[in-house]
């Protein structure tokens, strides 16, 4: 296992770079502690796969360094880095049995057969593959084959890090929850450094202790799932995480006081200076908005009942606002007023939180 440090990593697929858009990733700094569960989260094209390939040694970065346990391994090849990687599509040998697939990486390292049998049986039990150990891998379902891929990465005790590249994409939705839970359980048992790459916020937030959110080649926030939800450092994090995402509204600043279309809004920021920003907005999640007798005037557009809660879509003069209430709460008809919970209402200048 290893502590992983990414120091000022930048990479471009172009020969020359003159603007930010020329870089696939830029100025990436990360410290991942030994034995932790981490996730790289972001939409397609944000740079997360490029970053994963740099860590694995498939790509040498244009700039910056990668360190394993404080040793510079930037120029080392994938074999020297000793990494296990699980891909989006299962990588297995159909003509082999499940046992032979799981044993393959151990036999390549000349591990004694007695030890191989012990390790394979241990991993098979964890992944609930024991009953199929002597079956051909070709006869398994998609989730069964992906379990084999997971097992091939987990069966080795000598790896520095186990990396998952969108491993549940081909799995049926109703089976994803089962495998996500199994991954979390496995990490708690074996305590190896794991990095999970995904565009799915649910997968990232349920697996990782620390989530790195990427946007347009940059890291916009690193934090626990609770930190990302309760205090997004960037408007992209607020919008990307949560369902529905954070409401972002243009606002005005007058002598440090915040207002939306003339209505004063109490925020977590005590005093704001907007002189350094070209764009000033407030952000508040639907969970922290409520109806009141006074506040920001809105029109009710739509009410969706999800069983436990209601999602209400409203419209103000500054834009649409969504809020979440209990299913039992009576919703005003036509027009209403909204108030925001002060401690979870933030001011953003040019998309970054103003503390």
For residue range 231-252, what is the model confidence (pLDDT) as tens digits? 999 999 999 999 999 999 999 9
The dihedral built from the CA positions of residue 32, 175, 84 and 241, taken in this order, carries a sign that is: negative
Question: Which CATH class name applies to 4-232?
Answer: alpha beta
Would you say residue 230 has pLDDT above 90?
Answer: yes
Q: Closest Cα to residue 183, out of 203, 213, 155, 161?
A: 203
Average pLDDT over residues 33-61: 93
Range(s) within the chain of domains with CATH label 2.40.50.140: 243-353
CATH 2.40.50.140 fits 243-353, yes or no: yes
CA 99/CA 124 separation, integer angstroms: 8
Please name the residue that has the structure tokens 């990307």. 240
The dihedral built from the CA positions of residue 339, 341, 346 and 351, taken in this order, carries a sign that is: negative
Six token digits for residue 337: 């007023």
In the chain, how long is the greatest CA-to-CA distance? Answer: 75
Range(s) within the chain of domains with CATH label 3.40.50.300: 4-232
pLDDT category at 323 given cuts 50, 70, 90 is very high
For residue range 66-110, what is the model confidence (pLDDT) as tens digits? 999 999 999 999 888 988 888 877 788 889 999 999 999 899 888
pLDDT of residue 1: 62
Beta-carbon contacts of 131 under 8 Å, excluding residues fewer than 6 positions away, are none
Average pLDDT over residues 331-346: 95
């Amino acid at each position: 296992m290893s502590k992983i440090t990414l120091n000022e990593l930048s990479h471009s697929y172009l020969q020359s770079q003159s603007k930010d858009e020329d870089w696939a990733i830029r100025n990436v700094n990360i410290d991942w502690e030994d034995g932790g569960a981490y996730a790289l989260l972001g939409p397609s094209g944000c740079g997360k796969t490029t970053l994963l390939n740099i860590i694995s040694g498939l790509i040498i970065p244009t700039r910056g360094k990668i360190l394993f346990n404080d040793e510079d391994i930037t120029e080392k090849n994938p074999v020297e880095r000793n990494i296990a990687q699980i891909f989006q599509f299962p990588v297995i040998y159909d003509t082999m049995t499940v046992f032979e697939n799981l044993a393959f990486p151990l036999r390549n390292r000349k591990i004694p057969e007695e030890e191989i049998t012990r390790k394979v049986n241990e991993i098979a039990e964890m992944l609930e593959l024991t009953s199929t150990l002597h079956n051909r891998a070709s006869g398994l379902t998609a989730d069964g084959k992906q379990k084999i891929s997971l097992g091939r990465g987990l069966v080795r005790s000598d790896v520095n890090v186990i990396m998952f590249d969108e491993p549940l994409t081909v799995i049926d939705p109703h089976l994803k929850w089962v495998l996500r839970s199994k991954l979390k359980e496995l990490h708690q048992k074996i305590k190896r450094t794991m990095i999970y790459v995904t565009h799915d916020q649910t997968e990232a937030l349920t697996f990782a202790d620390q989530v790195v959110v990427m946007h347009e080649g940059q890291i916009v926030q690193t934090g626990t799932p609770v930190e990302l939800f309760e205090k997004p450092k960037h408007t992209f994090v607020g919008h990307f995480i949560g369902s529905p995402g954070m409401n972002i509204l243009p606002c005005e600043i007058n002598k440090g006081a915040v207002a939306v279309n003339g209505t004063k809004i109490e925020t977590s920021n005590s005093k704001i200076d907007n002189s350094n920003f070209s764009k000033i907005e407030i952000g508040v999640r639907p969970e922290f908005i409520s109806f009141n007798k006074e506040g920001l005037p809105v029109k009710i557009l739509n009410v969706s009942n999800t069983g436990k809660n209601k999602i209400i879509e409203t419209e103000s003069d500054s834009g649409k606002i969504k809020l979440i209430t209990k299913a039992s709460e009576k919703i005003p008809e036509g027009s209403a007023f909204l108030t925001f919970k002060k401690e979870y209402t933030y001011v953003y200048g040019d998309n970054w939180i103003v503390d």
